[in-house]
A and B are shown apart, each in its own frame.
Chain A
Amino acid sequence: MNSMSKKVQLVDENGIRTDGRRSDELRPIKLEVGILSNADGSAYIEQGKNKILAAVYGPREVHPRHLALPDRALLRCRYHMAPFSVQERKSPAPSRREVELSKVIREALEPAIFLELTPRTSIDLFIEVLQADGGTRTAGVTVASLALADAGIPMRDLVAACAAGKADGYIVLDLNDIEDKEGTADVPVAYMPSLNAVGLLQMDGQLTPEEFEQAFNLALEGCKKIYELQKKALKEKYLAIKEAVEEAVEEK
């Protein structure tokens, strides 16, 4: 964490935020699917200055074998931040924060996967934060869900995630790094729009129940927008393959 004076203005008198957004605007998001050749599924997200990679291996044999579940696949998730992803170098050893986030991210994605279709296997999910800019857990869920889909794992829905929070008295969508650190509340949410189901919900800071409801609903709206981007990114991968094939046919 940087030392910063406590009186940073996060939202100006016109309701514009430090990066020029309005209160209900997402940061620019770039999504790519299928970018690592070794993984069974992979995806990459840029959301603001966040740069995060996700890769899926599996369903595959479980190691160590005694962890295998007789009636469903074992989903394992590792959320990890690269040492160079933040201002002050982060030790590569997993921190308590990373342990907790790995758990809540897993619990956000588990309900989306038909784990019972591949019993005795493991699905191993790796999320590497290459650059962190606030909201890495939600961007991590968004990108991981795409990597799972890219691996061809049967899913009930894509999981889209987004945070909302409070900064300078305003309820704002998709907190950036400074809003995350200097703001008064953060509400990360992961949501499956077509099931109307919330798989991740956390909150820290201070909100009245009314403010919470407002922030929560704003986060859900953000999730729905991200969900559309996810679907588009998945389609683009296959459209690119289709185009490549058609070109090859024409050349013949």
Chain B
Amino acid sequence: MTSTTISRIRQKQIARLIAGGKRLDGRGLTDYRPIQIVTGIIEKAEGSARVRLGKTEVMAGVKIDIGEPFSDRPNEGVLTTNAEFVPLASPEFEAGPPGEDSVELARVVDRGIRESKAIDLEKLCIIPGKKVFVVFVDIYVLNHDGNLIDASALAALAALANTKIFKYEIKDGEVEIKPGFEKLPLVNFPVAVTLADIGGTLIVDPGLDEEEVMNARLTISFDKDGKICAMQKGGSGTLSPQQIIEAVKIAKEKSEELRKLVVKDYAAA
């Protein structure tokens, strides 16, 4: 995902510490960095959230529009997820069309939301086959310090939990917007947990320098019932089948911790 250079000495130090069950920043192997979620920070967006995961910072904004449904799903609203690696977030990011890393990030976050059926899309249908609500989730990476996927998935979910849809009525086949808002019908809460393999040891929530050293990473998204709804291996190394099974177990536990941070918010809203 990145190509920041870190010295050989630091690389070796990271690997040596992890082999001994420790990490450079003092965390345990399965500990997340401190997580802070703030919602409703952009008034013009129907939903928004900012997630800080250690020094990684990601914002997600949700915009709601009225558009046409897909022809094969005439009774469902439309979900679109996009990610921008804005150049202010890292010396490695450049302005321009989305690169493969940002496309992958957006698609992995999208898969988690879509496959867990987090949004009740049928409730977003206005006139079947003609008019539906379109939910745009835009992920904005503000500071890259590793594990963008988990931070982005959390930001997207928190923003969706914070989303308000305008009320409407249909007059002569036209949609008229009425005053007032309703909550977005959110029925599931998918969260992504990423693990990295460094020297044969699995760690949770790799930081940027750990991503530099890792062989490969595996992201696993769980829905609220403990089912897996998305997975993505990344990086140019490999994982053994045993590691993958172990990763699923660790990720399931961690996913429950993460979900609490958002669910609490949605229930309170």
Contact = CB atoms under 8 A, between A and B. Distances in A.
A110 B72 CA distance: 37
The binding surface of chain B is classed by DSSP as: mixed
Give the residue among B115, B218, B240 with the most A Cβ atoms within 10 A: B115
B100 interface: yes
Q: How large is the interface on B (under 10, 10 to 19, 20 to 34, 35 or more residues)?
A: 35 or more
A212 B248 contact: yes
A153 interface: no
A192 interface: yes
Interface in B24-76: 70-72
Contact of A96 (B107, B116, B244): B107
Contact of A3 (B72, B216, B223): B72
Interface string B98-136: 001101101100010011100000000000000000000
Contacts of B114: 204
A203 interface: yes
Contacts of A104: 104, 232-234
Contact of A201 (B106, B218, B249): B218
B241 A207 contact: no
Contacts of A187: 231
Interface string A208-246: 110011001100100000000000000000000000000
A16 interface: no
B79 interface: no
B237 interface: yes
Nearest to B236: A110
A202 B233 contact: yes
Nearest to B82: A96
A14 B22 CA distance: 53
B100 A206 contact: no
Contact of B238 (A96, A99, A111, A205): A111
A102 interface: yes
B226 A208 contact: yes
B72 A216 contact: no
B199 interface: no
A50 B15 CA distance: 43
B106 to A, nearest CB: 8
B170 interface: no
A100 interface: yes
B51 to A, nearest CB: 23
Contact of B103 (A100, A192, A205, A217): A100
Contacts of B220: 203
A1 B69 CA distance: 13
B229 interface: yes
Given A206-B223, A209-B252, A213-B248, A1 B72 contact: yes
Interface in B121-161: none
A248 B244 CA distance: 52
Given A198-B233, A213-B245, A206 B228 contact: yes
Contacts of A205: 115, 229
A203 B231 contact: yes
Contacts of A213: 245, 248
Interface string A86-100: 000000000011011
A96 to B, nearest CB: 5
Interface string A185-208: 001000010011111111111111
A44 B100 CA distance: 26
A207 B244 CA distance: 15
A217 B71 CA distance: 36
Give the residue among A2, A196, A200, A201 with the most B Cβ atoms within 10 A: A201
Interface in A1-37: 1-4
B238 A206 contact: no
B236 A107 contact: yes
Contacts of B223: 206
Interface in B194-230: 216, 218, 220, 223, 226-230
A209 B249 contact: yes
A183 to B, nearest CB: 12
12 contacts: A1-B72, A97-B107, A111-B237, A111-B238, A197-B240, A198-B239, A201-B218, A202-B233, A204-B111, A204-B229, A206-B228, A213-B248
Given A3-B71, A201-B239, 18 more contacts: A1-B72, A96-B106, A99-B100, A100-B100, A103-B104, A106-B236, A107-B234, A196-B240, A198-B239, A198-B241, A199-B238, A200-B233, A205-B115, A206-B115, A206-B116, A206-B223, A208-B228, A216-B244
Going nearest first, the 8 A-B pairs with the smallest beta carbon separation are A203-B231, A197-B238, A110-B236, A201-B233, A3-B72, A103-B100, A99-B103, A206-B227
